[in-house]
């Protein structure tokens, strides 16, 4: 067996091929360019905040430079200023920069009193994170005692975001046993400090030394490791960048591999510097020989939304009812999706382009209706995509610059001249969203989206899947407030025969209800449409458009909360139902579902990972039923249940991000993804406290022997966890392109996925209890064939020489179906397991064709046998006595010695 570290490194490179990210960050001659820091529209206008952002990045750049061995620095940053702030002469209109693709978001505290800087990370070790979150109070320096200087904390978050490393502390388990002794979770282990407990009662506080629990051998739960202010250790930034001496990331030499933290669990015991060194950034740079320049900043202010529809009306659009379906989807976009106040124009093209509407500002229903009348009605001619794009640029330039404008490009045809306008697209500053319709749409479309930061979507000719309407429903603004965006509640379709009924319900929850629209489409004759509100009252007044074959009803005011029931009846035709709405109030965050893949290209046999992020504001929604529908260009649809269980493709349990591997490739070409999410109706859905990867909150400092406590970390209201949420949502997850899929029957090349949540504990009589989530036959699908469990007293031997480590007898251990909970109890044999022994355990899953998973995360147990009770032991002070220390008095160590001496004297004199 080769080095496991090498195989893991190859796997990471394999998984990172074509990683999908909205970020515009580029590394140019060691400097990071294109970083976007966005200020949330709900943040009160304060020009000082802009200077504080500049100061943070300016301070962070040289710290990053030195921490990375003179490899990286911050070169240029765009600060995105909300539209509702006062316009200034030095604010310019953004180009491709939007709130949607911002790398850093500055927003008010939520929950209240929580100013913790943190980074959203949904991927595996080495994968780029989603976004850094900061608060105005953090940027103003009001939390520097707890998190250290803002620039240093920003570098900690940057490592999460850019290189996919994890924290080296653990708030849930602050201490662990090593050789029978409790140690603080820290990296490096040479960081010095003291283990103490702060007790407060009646307005006064005392500090006392931590007690050792006689049953577990480790410290009591309230114990804190408080570091000295004066240190010599330089690592590690991912443990505590707030310590003055810490200026480096942990390396292979000083990394604490035993510490139970996320870095060890997620990154196979590798140090943060090892992970950074394996990144593409590291490979394409060499250390600089001179100091880097100071970062530069551009101030960009969001303006009104400018959109131009560029729609294909070529002859091929007459096939499979495409032209009419495009008009149905376009009408939904114009009637509902595009926000009030936006400017919208329309161009259609075949061999040449035709302007159907100059830019019109959406201020009323009449404006929306006028634009819908411009949708094309006849399909003829060839396909010239560049003509359509150039015409759109002209339409926009008559009123505005093309910087930051959006173009929605839909086509079903091939065009071998599309490369002729690539440079114009790049230079335009416009964002191009592409919708590929049918199996023959130009293969170059995705490149237009990628180079401009636009969405890429695919819709098949299977009308009942409603893919085209889903695509246009997803085209809400990347800059508008969440309360203004259109939210899709339902998207269903069916082909009915012999007066069949299509029945169902839609949940309108309390977070939505404004401008709720019910839209029905058909292919031949208007169906019978019945709709009832939650009180049972029948809803009439559908507007019927027989030309476009659609009917719609907008509910006045705020739609009633509850179950809306519908029944549609038709014969020998396909019907679809779409329901959209907006937030019920600007003051109540709506429940949203956003979806994406880990890559934009699936290269067989590398799996895709599908993510669905369900949130109400910053709060993750747990225990929802989430389903992904993946449709190939062949029309085959695969249904996957997405899970938030912290296993398989899902990196973190209970973070509101539902994930799953996709391996069911059936052909090369485009695949579309659609998400259904249901909460409360069939499951105990809850709104939860967000889990965060961020800078450590330092409880206090030891300065000249005196403990100086920081204010206690704010407690987040746990009652939020018990609030049940009922909702329904659908969301387009965009599309990806598969390649290298063989034409012959596909062999089994997919191993079981890695077990990432292995846990171990001692269970009486020196038995070890293991728990983990079962992998599958193909990643997280199906059922593995067997498990191989090995143990060692040396953690690196288990990682690097797994096949040489002691194997546990698993004859009676039969794997369960993927995502089931596994429990296995065994007694270590073939190894000396005595008091003070640290034992390390790992698992490998094997499928029926003998394909092996990666080695699991390594679990650890330490055997601690409590000392026997003696008659005198009850009167003798414990090893760590209850030493009460006034936290304002120096000389802690002296007090400890004196107290211990007094205790010993009492015993010897018979006074105890």
Q: Give yes or no for a contact between 774 and 817, defined as CB atoms under 8 angstroms apart.
A: yes
Count the helices and strands in the chain (H runs, E runs).
Answer: 17, 49
Q: Which residue has the tokens 């002469």?
A: 89
**CA 156/CA 166 separation, integer angstroms:** 9
Cα maximum dimension of the chain: 108
Read off the tokens for 575. 């019907």
- Spatial neighbors of 141 by CB under 8 A, at least 6 apart, are 52, 150
DSSP letter string over 815-862? --BTT-EEEEEE---SS---TT-EEEEEEEEE-TT--BPPPPPPEEEE
Catalytic residue among 116, 120, 127, 157: 157
Q: Which residue, among 209, 217, 281, has the nearest Cα to 31 in the 3D structure?
A: 281
> Nearest CA to 350 among 380, 393, 320?
380
List Cα–Cα distances, 113 to 29, 118, 714, in angstroms. Answer: 40, 14, 6
Per-residue buried b or exposed e for 534-560, using 16+ beta carbons within 10 Å of the residue's own CB: eeeeebeebeebeebbbbbbbbeebbe
Reduced to 3 states (helix: H, G, I; strand: E, B; else coil), residue 886 is coil
Which whole-number Å values give the CA distances from 557 to 342, 471, 507, 515, 681, in the listed order?
Answer: 21, 26, 17, 7, 25
Cβ atoms of 722 and 689 within 8 Å: the answer is no
Residues near 784 by beta carbon (within 8 Å), at least 6 away in sequence: 752, 774, 775, 776, 777, 815, 818, 845, 846, 847, 853
Is 248 catalytic? The answer is no
Sole residue written with tokens 């959203």: 120
* Residue 651 neighbours by CB distance under 10 Å: 23
The tokens describing 218, both together, are 């480790």
The residues with which 672 forms a beta bridge, in sequence order, are: 631, 735
Residue 906 CA to residue 896 CA, distance in Å, equals 15
Q: Which residues are catalytic?
A: 157
């Amino acid at each position: 067996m080769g080095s496991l570290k090498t195989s893991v490194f190859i796997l990471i490179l394999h998984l990172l091929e074509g990683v999908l990210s909205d970020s515009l960050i580029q590394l140019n001659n060691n400097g990071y360019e294109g970083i976007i820091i966005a200020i949330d529209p709900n943040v009160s206008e304060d020009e000082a905040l802009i200077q504080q952002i500049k100061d943070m990045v300016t301070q962070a750049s040289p710290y990053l430079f030195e921490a990375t061995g003179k490899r990286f620095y911050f070169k240029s940053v765009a600060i995105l200023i909300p539209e509702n702030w006062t316009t200034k002469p030095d604010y310019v209109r953004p180009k491709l920069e939007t709130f949607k693709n911002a790398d850093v978001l500055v927003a008010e505290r939520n929950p209240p009193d929580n100013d913790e800087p943190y980074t959203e990370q949904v991927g595996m070790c080495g994968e780029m994170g989603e976004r850094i979150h900061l608060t105005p109070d953090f940027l103003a320096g009001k939390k520097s005692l707890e998190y250290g200087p803002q620039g240093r904390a920003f570098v900690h978050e940057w490592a999460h975001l850019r290189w996919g490393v994890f924290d080296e502390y653990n708030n849930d388990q602050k201490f662990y046993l090593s050789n029978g002794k409790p140690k603080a979770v820290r990296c490096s282990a040479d960081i010095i400090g003291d283990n103490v407990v702060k007790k407060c009662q009646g307005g006064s506080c005392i500090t006392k030394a931590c007690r050792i629990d006689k049953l577990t051998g480790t410290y009591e739960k309230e114990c804190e490791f408080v570091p000295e202010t004066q240190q010599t250790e330089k690592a590690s930034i991912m443990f505590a960048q707030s310590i003055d001496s810490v200026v480096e990331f942990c390396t292979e030499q000083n990394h604490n591999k035993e510490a139970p933290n996320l870095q060890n669990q997620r990154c196979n015991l590798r140090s943060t510097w090892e992970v950074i060194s394996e990144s593409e950034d590291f490979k394409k740079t060499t250390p600089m020989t001179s100091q880097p320049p100071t970062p530069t900043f551009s101030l960009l202010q969001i303006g009104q939304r400018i959109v131009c529809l560029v729609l294909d009306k070529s002859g091929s659009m007459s096939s499979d009812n495409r032209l009419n379906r495009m008009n149905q989807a376009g009408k939904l976009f114009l009637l509902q999706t595009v926000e009030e106040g936006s400017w919208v124009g329309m161009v259609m093209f075949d061999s040449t382009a035709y302007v159907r509407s100059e830019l019109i500002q959406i201020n009323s229903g009449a404006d929306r209706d006028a634009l819908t009348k411009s949708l094309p009605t006849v399909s003829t001619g060839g396909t010239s995509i560049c003509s359509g794009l150039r015409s759109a640029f002209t339409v926009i330039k008559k009123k505005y610059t093309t910087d930051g404008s959006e173009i929605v490009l839909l086509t079903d045809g091939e065009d071998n001249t599309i490369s002729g306008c690539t440079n114009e697209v790049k230079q335009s500053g416009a964002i191009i969203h592409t919708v590929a319709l049918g199996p023959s749409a130009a293969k170059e479309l995705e490149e237009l989206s990628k180079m401009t930061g636009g969405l890429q979507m695919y819709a098949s000719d299977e009308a009942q899947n409603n893919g085209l309407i889903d695509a246009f429903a997803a085209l809400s603004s990347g800059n508008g407030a969440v309360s203004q965006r259109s939210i899709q509640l339902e998207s269903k379709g069916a082909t009915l025969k012999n007066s069949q009924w299509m029945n169902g319900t839609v949940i309108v929850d309390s977070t939505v209800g404004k401008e709720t629209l019910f839209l029905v489409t058909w292919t031949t004759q208007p169906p019978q449409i019945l709709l009832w509100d939650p009180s049972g009252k029948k809803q009439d007044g559908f507007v019927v458009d027989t030309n476009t074959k659609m009917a719609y009803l907008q509910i006045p005011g705020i739609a009633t909360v509850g179950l809306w029931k519908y029944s549609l009846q038709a014969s020998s035709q396909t019907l679809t139902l779409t329901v959209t709405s907006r937030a019920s109030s600007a003051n109540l965050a709506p429940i949203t579902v956003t979806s994406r893949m880990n890559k934009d290209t699936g290269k067989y046999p590398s799996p895709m990972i599908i993510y669905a992020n369900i949130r109400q504001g910053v709060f993750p929604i747990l225990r929802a039923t989430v389903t992904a529908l993946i449709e190939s260009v062949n029309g085959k649809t695969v249904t996957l249940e997405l899970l938030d269980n912290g296993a398989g493709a899902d990196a973190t349990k209970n973070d509101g991000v539902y994930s799953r591997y996709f391996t069911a490739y059936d052909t090369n070409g485009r695949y579309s993804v659609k998400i259904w999410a249901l909460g409360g109706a069939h499951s105990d859905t809850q709104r939860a406290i967000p889990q965060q990867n961020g800078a450590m909150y330092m409880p206090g400092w030891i300065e000249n022997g005196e403990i100086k406590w920081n204010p206690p970390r704010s407690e987040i209201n746990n009652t939020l966890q018990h609030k049940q949420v009922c909702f329904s949502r659908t969301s387009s997850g965009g599309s990806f392109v598969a390649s290298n899929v063989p034409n012959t029957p596909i062999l089994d090349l997919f191993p079981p996925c890695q077990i990432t949540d292995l846990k171990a504990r001692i269970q009486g009589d020196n038995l070890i209890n293991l728990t983990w989530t079962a992998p599958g036959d193909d990643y997280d699908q199906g059922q593995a064939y067997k498990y191989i469990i090995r143990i060692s007293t040396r953690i690196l031997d288990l990682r690097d020489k797994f096949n040489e480590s002691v194997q546990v007898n698993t004859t009676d251990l039969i794997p369960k179906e993927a995502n089931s909970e596994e429990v296995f109890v065994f007694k270590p044999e073939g190894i000396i397991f005595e008091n003070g022994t640290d034992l390390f355990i790992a698992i490998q899953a094997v499928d029926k064709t003998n394909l092996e998973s990666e080695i699991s995360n390594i679990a650890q147990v330490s055997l601690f046998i409590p000392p026997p009770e003696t008659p005198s032991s009850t009167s003798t002070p414990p090893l760590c006595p209850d030493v009460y220390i006034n936290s304002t008095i120096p000389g802690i160590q002296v007090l400890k010695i004196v107290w211990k001496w007094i205790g010993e004297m009492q015993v010897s004199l018979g006074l105890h």
